[in-house]
Structure 1
Amino acid sequence: MIAIGVSLAVGNVRAAVPGITGGTTTPAFNLVASAGTTSQPDGASIYTWGYGCGKAGTSVGQIARAAPAGFTPAALAAISTCPVMQLPGPTLIVKEGDTVTVNLTNELPVAAGNTSIIFPGFKVAATQGVAGVLTREASRGQTVTYSFVATKPGTYVYHSGTQAELQIEMGLYGALIVLPKTPPAACQTSALGSQTDYRLSTAAYNHPQSCYDREYLFQLTEMDSNIHAAALQQVKTCDAAIAANANAQCLPIAVQTEPYHPNYFLVNGRSMPDDMDAPFAPNYPSQPYNGNPHLHPGETMLIRTVGQGRIQHPLHIHGNHARVLARDGNLLVSTVDQTSLAGPLIFTFPTVSGQTVDALFQWTGKGLNWDVYGHTYAGAPAGPSTIGNGDPQPCYPDTTGYFTSSSNPAAIPAVTPNYGEWCADHNKPIPVTPPDLNIVTDGLWYGGTPYLGLQTIPSGGAQFISTPRPPGFASQNPSAGYAYMWHSHDEREITTNDVFPGGMMMMLIVDPPAAKIDETQ
């Protein structure tokens, strides 16, 4: 597929990795499995099961106060909540070496029977409840406790270990993130500068090559609404029988799950365009997490992907390749040199069922062969700047060819207007050709406007960085953005109930350095 780049105005819609913490070295999470509904862009309300932080009837405010030890990152705490039931379940965030306790209470309908949680990758001790096939299970109204040591950093899954073919489909799954206990000292230096820091850590692993500036979690899954409707019908039948006779016995839910025909495809519990709305938006009370990554040129993004569904979802990214750090929390290190990472460069994440992949991504404009910042200074030669060439906004390459804090003189993150620029393309003109209205790829779609270039700032600048701007910076347009479509490479998965566009689709927005990336909106 051809990479799509679009010059456009971008609102304050962001994404992050919100979740809940459970304390310091012995975090405890009190989760409840219950039923609710989730919404889809076609107007459908889907009967869903999910993990949450409170019992039915508890207000959101009460849940927020009762949630285990609070929300993270701190910059999101003011807007974060942990609903009674959410899809996916709350992201659990702990540190390497923590002894983690998860108390699960079963508030699912009577017909659902027992439920449980398993934590692949960890040695788990389970107490209370009743014996199940994979772990101890909680009967309705009862609680089971799971405990384990978070032995190594990484991204992990958790999900129901009871009647998994139905309960995971219904929504009983979530993510667990284990942060390194002591991030490498080399990762203390960041391209974020004075901007608000939304990261959970400065490094993904105990390795100096795992540093990052921003991070996003993408949980990909699918949904067959026919299965959900069939489960709801059996729940209603059971509830009606009990209402008529308190001693009535309900048969366990027996829903046909094969053949499997999913018609909704989700990123963090939402379909496009809903996934590009703000996190914790009130119109998605059971779907608090969004998926809409933003970064500035030169920043390093940590991408955490999780395959939560029954089938594989090929998440295809545009703009650059990503370097794989780890799979299932297993760091890919060179067998020859332990100080070097050995993960491949990829532009499609397989997102295999139950597998997690951590990768690093950057965007700099390298390879476009024109100056993405729109520098057009008279008399300035193309390529890296030299002293005395009359260029008021120079580009000094570091040892890798970029204008960064390692350059001499150094660029300053969030201050230098072309921080992260690929200097070999500095002052190269944009290849503008007169539009041909009969050729949409070079006519209606593209007029040659540089997205990061010297443009006019619109009124209402409260959203912009307040740092004093050096010459040339004040004329940069922070509301502009360069967008790349990130989506499933399975065509049916970019539809919502067979209607395009929808499903597993989102936009990567590369914001100009003048734009403040506010991940709370």
Structure 2
Amino acid sequence: MALPVIPRGEMPPDETLAFHKHVCPPDFGGPNPDPLNPDLILSRNLLISIDLLLPENARVPMWIIEDPDDPVNGRVFPSKTIRIPRGALVNALVGCEGGTHTIHWHGIEPTPMNDGVGKHSFEVDGNFVYQFQPREAGTYFYHCHKNTVLHFEMGLYGLLIIDPDVPGAPFTDGGPGFCAAFSPATNHVIPYDVEAFWVADEIDSRWHTLGHDDFMQECDPENPVDPANFTQDGFLNDFRPDIFVVTGIPRRVNNPSPFSAADDPLFGPLVAPALQAGQTLLARILNAGYTIQQFTLGIDAEVIAMDGHALGVPPFQQYSSPFRLPAGTPFRLTTAMRHDLIITPASPGIFPVTIEYFHSVSGRRLFTARTAITVI
């Protein structure tokens, strides 16, 4: 039985702009139209160009989202981590250069006006004050949603961590602190001593020669779906990574050397953490690339959260539960997925961590990154 065809009918003139928004998002800037008194104010600027230094002293051009209030670590890749206590009302002052941009607070789900998805609202022209209030503690991230496939690859993203609303929050990267996890006796908040960030990414050097609007569909409000408006020479459907990254530390495809704390004074200790036997390690993992990534730990762990949601914690996750991940058990994450793991080693040792990168179409393994958890 054939499905009936329901004609769309004539579009009323007053709906045309909304219908075309997916192709031609409007520009907007200035203060938030519905301002409230914030608990926390932060600033971010994009697009800022930096070079990522490779071990052989070569450089790869990157774009990052700058924290203009931090003259020391405000220009880093990945972009500086944002930490916010759960329930805090946030005003994010965002400035844009080199064209329109957005910041999407991935997983936070504020109102469409504050969510930073241009085709559902607008793209920021000049500056805008985003406003949101996170309701669940966990691991999220923020990124530009203009020409998303390219801008995300170029480095316009950073971790967004929502800490529990307990004394001391927001916590310092690396620990100690508290996180959300199933624990009825402690109101679903548990402590950790050390924190790891495993933000796995890849770089296709060809893409890093492109500009802000390259290979975008041309905006024609009168006929947005005209075939002539679509690029015919783009290659953003052809991803061939030749550099692999773990939390800002790069390796070329032919460089098998392990990732260590000595690689970078800022990110190294977060990639190769060290702790004492009996202490608790919280590992926050994000697939920030376009490959399928397989993680394997040489030590038992417990998965306590996925995609920013603490497993088993009511009311939103009451039908899930944390689960044990025995040593040597691989698990895979696709683009934008996050896992939070708790690891409590009972004895000293060096426990390997591997991240394997698989091509999302062919399934071919492209690279294996190796780091370790050191327990003293």
Tell me the TM-score normalised to structure 2 length: 0.69
Aligned residues: 302
Pair 1:30 & 2:43 matched: yes
Pair 1:330 & 2:309 matched: yes
Pair 1:316 & 2:296 matched: yes
Match of 2:70 among 64, 88, 108: 64
Give ranges in structure 1 of 5+ residues lacking alignment.
1-23, 55-62, 66-80, 184-195, 235-251, 366-451, 453-481, 493-497, 512-521
Q: Is the 8 A contact 2:292 2:358 kept in 1?
A: no
Match of 2:355 among 473, 480, 488: 488
Change (3 A) 1:363 1:340: farther
Q: Structure 2: how far apart are the matches of 1:342 and 1:277? A: 33
Pair 1:345 & 2:324 matched: yes
Q: Give SS of 1:228's match.
A: helix
Match of 1:223 among 182, 185, 203: 203
Q: Give SS of 1:504's match.
A: strand
Q: How does 1:29-428 map to 2 (within 5 A)?
A: 29-33=42-46, 34-54=48-68, 63-64=69-70, 81-84=72-75, 86-108=76-98, 113-125=99-111, 132-139=118-125, 142-182=126-166, 199=175, 201-205=177-181, 207=183, 208=186, 210-231=190-211, 256-271=235-250, 275-278=259-262, 281=265, 290-318=270-298, 320-333=299-312, 342-346=321-325, 347-365=329-347
Change (3 A) 1:39 1:197: closer
1:41-96 per-position Cα deviation (integer Å, ceiling 9, x unaligned): 23320011111123xxxxxxxx536xxxxxxxxxxxxxxx3334x21111100101
Q: Is the 8 A contact 2:137 2:179 kept in 1?
A: no
Q: Is the 8 A contact 2:286 2:337 kept in 1?
A: yes
Using the TM superposition, give the Cα deviation of residue 301 of structure 1 relative to its aligned residue in structure 2, in angstroms. Answer: 1.0
CA RMSD of aligned residues (A): 3.9
* Counterpart code for 2:375: V
Using the TM superposition, give the Cα deviation of residue 345 of structure 1 relative to its aligned residue in structure 2, in angstroms. Answer: 2.0
Q: Structure 1: how far apart are the matches of 2:284 and 2:346? A: 21
Change (3 A) 1:339 1:490: closer
Q: Is the 8 A contact 1:218 1:306 kept in 2?
A: yes
Q: Give SS of 2:249's match.
A: coil
Q: Structure 2: how far apart are the matches of 1:88 and 1:134? A: 26
Q: Give SS of 2:305's match.
A: strand
Using the TM superposition, give the Cα deviation of residue 278 of structure 1 relative to its aligned residue in structure 2, in angstroms. Answer: 4.8
Change (3 A) 1:172 1:198: closer
Q: Is the 8 A contact 2:296 2:331 kept in 1?
A: yes
Using the TM superposition, give the Cα deviation of residue 212 of structure 1 relative to its aligned residue in structure 2, in angstroms. Answer: 2.2
Residue in 1 aligned with 2:372? 507
Q: Give SS of 1:357's match.
A: strand
Q: Give SS of 2:84's match.
A: strand
User: Which structure has more RCO (C-alpha within 8 Å, separation ≥ 6)?
Assistant: 1
Q: Structure 2: how far apart are the matches of 1:290 and 1:265? A: 17
Q: Structure 2: how far apart are the matches of 1:296 and 1:302? A: 13
Q: Structure 1: how far apart are the matches of 2:97 and 2:149? A: 19
Q: Structure 2: how far apart are the matches of 1:507 and 1:26? A: 38
Q: Is the 8 A contact 1:278 1:290 kept in 2?
A: no
Q: Give SS of 1:166's match.
A: helix
1:308-362 per-position Cα deviation (integer Å, ceiling 9, x unaligned): 11222112211x2211111112222189xx9998222224342321121111112
Q: Give SS of 1:489's match.
A: strand
Q: Give SS of 2:293's match.
A: coil
Using the TM superposition, give the Cα deviation of residue 279 of structure 1 relative to its aligned residue in structure 2, in angstroms. Answer: 8.2
Q: Give SS of 2:80's match.
A: coil
Change (3 A) 1:364 1:153: same
Whichever structure has more strand as a proportion of its residues is 2
Q: Structure 2: how far apart are the matches of 1:82 and 1:214? A: 20
Q: Structure 2: how far apart are the matches of 1:306 and 1:314? A: 11
Give ranges in structure 2 of 5+ residues lacking alignment.
1-36, 215-230, 252-256, 360-364
1:424-471 per-position Cα deviation (integer Å, ceiling 9, x unaligned): xxxxxxxxxxxxxxxxxxxxxxxxxxxx6xxxxxxxxxxxxxxxxxxx
Change (3 A) 1:197 1:41: closer
Change (3 A) 1:290 1:119: same
